[in-house]
Amino acid sequence: MSEIKKTALITGASRGIGYATAIEFLKHGYNVAIIDIFEDRDKVKNELKEYGNVNYVVYDLRKTEGIEDAVKEAIKPFGRLDALVNNASSGAHDYLLGISIERWDSYMDLALKSMFFVSQAASKMMIDCDSKGAIVSLSSLRADRADGTHMLYSVAKAGIAAMTRELAFSLGRYGIRVNAVMPGYVRTEMTEHYITETPGFIDQLYSLQALEKVLDAKDMAKLIYFLASDENTSVTAQCIKADAGIGTVELPAKKAEHA
């Protein structure tokens, strides 16, 4: 009997963590369905096709009208769904007094609301095909930290953490595992400016992290794949820091000078 070819749906996979995650799933033999706002679907498909089967749907996740149809269209060629990676979002630097109702709505529509409705649509499909699959969502260390500079981003990422736990308890009876990853600093197009615009940024990072390396999208992709794959038989309802240790450091940071 031939083994079933699994399918992963990844939102926001035209670059960054989502793109690296698409390659990771493809290398493990999955079909990959992508939903992304970036319109040059041929460019992304051509780059990824050497790794396996990709279906790419152009859709703006700031809107929820038609979101279930976009999910259905994305997985249509593959006929089943085994993993969802809720990844698409954008950075946001906002202060309390500057946030209008319109700004709140448009940011939350992408960063939180769409993640919920994509998860809802994906859950129905995983239940229908009895895939006993997994959902992995991109939260952030900022979900449980504050410095007054990222109001909307932090609220959305904390919402994702809460949503993860609720989904895990809603879907556990179907054998579906649900987790979130909380990255620290990961070098992508979204965050490259921290390195290029802040002198000494990497030295400062190393003084706060346990590991003296700049994390990249591939580091996140490996963890996301593990959490979504059948190798993960026990972890659910968790928000896992993937941060080289920065979220655990005792402040003010003065790392031990020797082991």
Ligand X SMILES: NC(=O)c1ccc[n+]([C@@H]2O[C@H](COP(=O)([O-])OP(=O)(O)OC[C@H]3O[C@@H](n4cnc5c(N)ncnc54)[C@H](O)[C@@H]3O)[C@@H](O)[C@H]2O)c1
Q: What are the catalytic residues?
A: 153
Judged by beta carbon, residue 47 or residue 60, the one nearer ligand X is 60
Residues 74-93 that bind ligand X (CB under 6 A): 87-90
Tell me the residue length of the chain. 259
Choice from 6, 12, 56, 225 touching ligand X (CB under 6 A): 12
3-state DSSP assignment of residue 94: strand
Burial class (CB in 10 A: 0-12, 13-18, 19+), 135: buried
Judged by beta carbon, residue 131 or residue 141, the one nearer ligand X is 141
Count Cβ atoms below 10 Å from residue 21 Cβ, excluding itself. Answer: 30
Binding mask 25-54 for ligand X (x = CB under 6 A): -----------xxx----------------
3-state DSSP assignment of residue 231: coil
Cβ pair 156, 107 in contact under 8 A: yes
Residues 146-205 that bind ligand X (CB under 6 A): 183, 185-186, 188-191
Query: How many residues lie near ligand X (CB under 6 A)?
Result: 27
Count Cβ atoms below 10 Å from residue 112 Cβ, excluding itself. Answer: 19
Q: Which amino acid is at 64?
A: T
Stretch that binds ligand X, among 55-63, 172-180, 202-210, 247-255 (CB under 6 A): 55-63
The residues binding ligand X (CB under 6 A) are 12-18, 36-38, 60-62, 87-90, 110, 138, 140, 183, 185-186, 188-191
